[in-house]
Amino acid sequence: KKGIKIKTMLKRLQFLTAGESHGKGLVGIIDGIPAGLEISEEYIDRQLRRRQMGHGRGGRMKIEKDHGEIWSGVRHGKTLASPIGILVQNLDWKNWTDKMSVDPIDKEIKEVTLPRPGHADLAGIHKYGFTDIRNVLERSSARETTMRVALGSVCRKLLEEVGIHIASRVVQIHDVIDNSKIEYKTSKLNSFVDKSPVRCIDKNIENQMIEVIDKAKKSGDSVGGIFEVVASGIPYGLGSYTQWTEKLQSRISAMMMSINAFKGIEIGNGFRSASKFGSEVHDEIGHDGKKFTRFTNNAGGIEGGMSNAQPIVLWMSMKPISTLIKPLRSVDILTHEKKKAHKERTDACAVPAASIIAESMLCITLADALLEKFGGDNVDQLKAHMKATAKY
């Protein structure tokens, strides 16, 4: 008998999000988290706050104060192994009760008919047969990623329990590049980088990044960028080379590329290895008397579809947000009149926020791969299994 199976790359965890950008709120469930994990709304909210930050965010973030309310799966501060349900209310909902009413209403509601190039609008109305683009844009909005961060924070807590830390930093916004090397431990990186409004390391570059965002904003435009996500404390053997569905890099990429506006992912040196010789790329092996060591980590912690006990390093690129205050050419979907695209309140830059979303998706992917390899119905069992068999 077939059970209900959510179609994802995940093996042990399942999660779903629901919610429209201007609906009542966001709903999420994550199932498969072992019992006995300490978690609080305060812990979740700390991550939600990180997603709301960043220079270049628009008016919506001034309205929202995202709060993850735990509805199920936790008792007296610890997980029960049952599905964890989380709710985040949209504070903006009170301004949208007519436009986003669940029940039919008598009032005339103006339909959105001018698709934005780059957004889900045009393909979405064709796919679902809508005449109002709002039916598409409400769910395709990056507001949905709030819930991914909320659910991802439960996985982050689980990873922290076993010494795995995930952090990120912005490398590039538009044409401004921060060439700094990361000199912080992964567990300390976020507390440093989070102090920067663009989440970069170099203070001079920070000013230039702010300038380029301000310039874009002033002209009604938007900018994208690149950021790096790192995970440390990873044992050997998450993922496998035995089948395409098992490879860790496929699982990570599928999860990452599901984030709104993400256009590219590099594992380790990625595209930057293409112009190098093999002898310059591959990470030579040493031994310090206790364990194997590597002289470099160009592979970004993954070889043959498995973690190799080096930090996992990912670079990701985000395109500029497609909702523009200075809109591009478009065509009315009903009249076929040539007009400018629909304007909504928007962000000039959401790259710093996107780096938090990517961290969260990596948390879910790695927690899943960890539970797949080491199992355990409660956190103590997971720890005991890891103590007995994990190799670093």
Binding footprint of ligand EPS on the chain (CB under 6 A): 21, 58, 60, 92, 141-143, 146, 321, 323, 344-347
Q: Residues 6 or more apart from 248 whose CB is under 8 A from it?
A: 238, 239, 240, 302, 305, 306, 307, 369
Min separation Cβ 157 and ligand EPS, Å: 22
CB 90 within 8 A of CB 147: no
- For residue 123 the two structure tokens come to 């393909």
| Residue 260 or 273 having the CB closest to ligand EPS | 260
The residues pairing with 177 across neighbouring beta strands, listed in sequence order, are: 172
Min separation Cβ 131 and ligand EPS, Å: 20
| Residue 302 or 348 having the CB closest to ligand EPS | 348
| Residue 323 or 360 having the CB closest to ligand EPS | 323
Min separation Cβ 357 and ligand EPS, Å: 9
CB 136 within 8 A of CB 260: no
| Residue 323 or 355 having the CB closest to ligand EPS | 323
Min separation Cβ 139 and ligand EPS, Å: 10
| Residue 27 or 162 having the CB closest to ligand EPS | 27
CB 375 within 8 A of CB 149: no
Min separation Cβ 90 and ligand EPS, Å: 9
Min separation Cβ 97 and ligand EPS, Å: 15
CB atoms within 10 A of CB 63: 13
Q: What is the 3-state secondary structure (H, E, C) of 16-29?
A: EEECCCCCCEEEEE
CB atoms within 10 A of CB 337: 11
Spatial CA neighbour of 211 closest among 10, 56, 377: 56
Min separation Cβ 319 and ligand EPS, Å: 11
Spatial CA neighbour of 171 closest among 179, 163, 161: 179
**Alpha-carbon gap, residue 222 to 191, rounded angstroms:** 27
| Residue 314 or 321 having the CB closest to ligand EPS | 321
| Residue 194 or 266 having the CB closest to ligand EPS | 194
| Residue 138 or 303 having the CB closest to ligand EPS | 138
The residues pairing with 258 across neighbouring beta strands, listed in sequence order, are: none
**Alpha-carbon gap, residue 313 to 167, rounded angstroms:** 10
Sign, CA dihedral 154-62-255-187, equals negative
Min separation Cβ 46 and ligand EPS, Å: 17
- For residue 200 the two structure tokens come to 């970069």
